[in-house]
Structure 1
Amino acid sequence: MNRRETPPGIDAPVFAEPWQAEAFALTVALHEKGLFSWSEWAESLSTEVKRPDAAADGSDYYEHWLAALEKLLVSKGIAATPEVDAVAAAWERAAHATPHGKPILLENDPQRRA
């Protein structure tokens, strides 16, 4: 490769989906608020990505990222497991109820109380 060529993958997006960027930003923001240290975060994420069911190609990295964040928030007493599960389910319902090409909003959850 000469110096003018771009290395393979350099133009690839950092995040495959918007939710991945949001999970990343949320993790950074919570750390900056002092809710957990980077070493705590690294340990939590490491535990998740080392799970035996992790994809060998890393395609599920952000699923593990999100699981690590959820478990860390529960272990720190910031959120309870039922609350995390309820919000995750609401987002899932909202995603299924949102027309293709439209932003997924929690307000789109058909079970949301008005």
Structure 2
Amino acid sequence: MAQDLASVRTLLETVPGIPCQGEAPIFAEPWQAQVFAMALSLQQRGVFTWHEWAEELGLQIKSALAEGDPDDGSTYYCHWLATLERLAVRKSIASPETLDRYVRAWIHAADRTPHGQTIELTPDDFG
């Protein structure tokens, strides 16, 4: 727990622009907190440093802005997700094909899940 707090503080100091209330990050939707937690976990495991993360996130945001992404904060955690995917591929955690397979499975699972229910992947989602 103390390591998590220290990592979050370092992250907040290293990566500008994280929406916060006081010293705590805030999230508009649950998936944003999950992306944040995945990045925190991978950094704590030594997959990347916060400086490496900040550099990659900055490149992702610049690229998105060049492609017409609105600079209004609404897509901030979409950039986190894209950054996680790029680092996962670069660090050989997952291949682009594996990531694409899971995206397609997730879309299939979301389509079959009634609104308000938890989305769960099953083997049929990968078929």
Q: TM-score range by the shorter chain?
A: 0.7 to 0.9
User: Does 2:59 match 1:47?
Assistant: yes
After the TM superposition, which parts of structure 1 deviate over 2 Å for at least 4 consecutive aligned residues? 109-113
Deviation at 1:66, TM superposition (A): 0.3
Does the CA contact (< 8 Å) of 1:97 and 1:110 recur in 2? no
The alignment's C-alpha RMSD in Å is 2.1
- Aligned-pair distance for 1:83? 0.6
Alignment partner of 1:26 is 2:38: yes
Listed as ranges, the gaps of 5+ residues in structure 2 are 1-19
Q: Any unmatched runs of 5+ in structure 1?
A: 1-8
Work out whether residues 101 and 126 of structure 2, in 8 Å CA contact, stay in contact via their aligned partners in 1.
no
Distance (whole Å) between structure 1 residues aligned to residue 78 and residue 38 of structure 2: 14
| Structure 2 Cα separation of the partners of residues 88 and 41 of structure 1 | 22
When Rg is computed on C-alpha atoms for both structures, the one with the higher figure is 1
Q: Confirm or deny: 8 A CA contact 2:102 2:126 kept in the other structure.
A: no
User: Structure 1 length normalisation: TM-score?
Assistant: 0.79
- Aligned-pair identity in percent equals 47
Among 94, 103, 112, the alignment partner of 1:97 is 112
Q: What count of residue pairs does the alignment treat as equivalent?
A: 102
Name whichever structure is richer in helix by fraction: 2
